[in-house]
Amino acid sequence: MPEKLHIQGAVMSHNAEMLHNSEGVPVYGLYIDGEWRPGRGEQHEPICDPATGDVLAQVTRGAVDDTRDAIEAARRAFDEGPWPNLCPGERSQILHRIVDAIEARQDELSDIEMRNAGSTWRKAFLMDIPVGVLHFRHFAKLADYEPLEPVPQITFPMRSYNFVQREPIGVCGQIIPWNFPFLMAVWKLAPALAAGNALVLKPASLTPLSALKLVEIIHETGLLPPGVLNLVTGPGAAIGHELATSPLVDKIAFTGSTEVGREVMRQAAGTVKKVTLELGGKSPSIVLDDADMDVTIDGCLWATFMHNGQACESGTRLFVPDVIYDSFMERLLDRARRIHVGLPADGETDLGPLISAAQLRRVEEYIRIGLAEGATPALLGSRPTDPQLAHGHFITPTIFTDVSNDMRIAQEEIFGPVLTVIKYDRVEEAIRMANDTIYGLAAGVWSSNIDRAVEVAKQIRAGTVWINDYHLINVEAPFGGYKQSGIGRELGIWGLHEYTEVKHVHAAMTSSRKDRFWYDILVPLGSGDGE
For residue 323, count other CB atoms closer than 10 A to its CB: 10
DSSP symbol at 245: H
Pairing of strands 442-446, 464-467: parallel
**Residues 344, 8: contact at Cβ < 8 Å?**
no
Q: Return phi, psi of residue 238, to 5°.
A: -80, -50
**Residues 201, 230: contact at Cβ < 8 Å?**
yes
Residues involved in catalysis = 278, 312
For the residues of 484-524, what is the DSSP string, one character each? GGEES-BSHHHHHHTTEEEEEEEEES---STTSTTHHHHSP
* Residues shown for the chain: 531
- Beta-bridged to residue 351, according to DSSP, are 341
Contacts of 358 (CB under 8 A, 6+ apart): none
**Residues 392, 375: contact at Cβ < 8 Å?**
no
**Residues 339, 397: contact at Cβ < 8 Å?**
yes
Pairing of strands 148-150, 160-168: antiparallel
Contacts of 416 (CB under 8 A, 6+ apart): 308, 309, 310, 354, 359, 362, 363, 366, 395
Cα separation, 304 vs 319, whole angstroms: 13
Cα separation, 11 vs 34, whole angstroms: 18
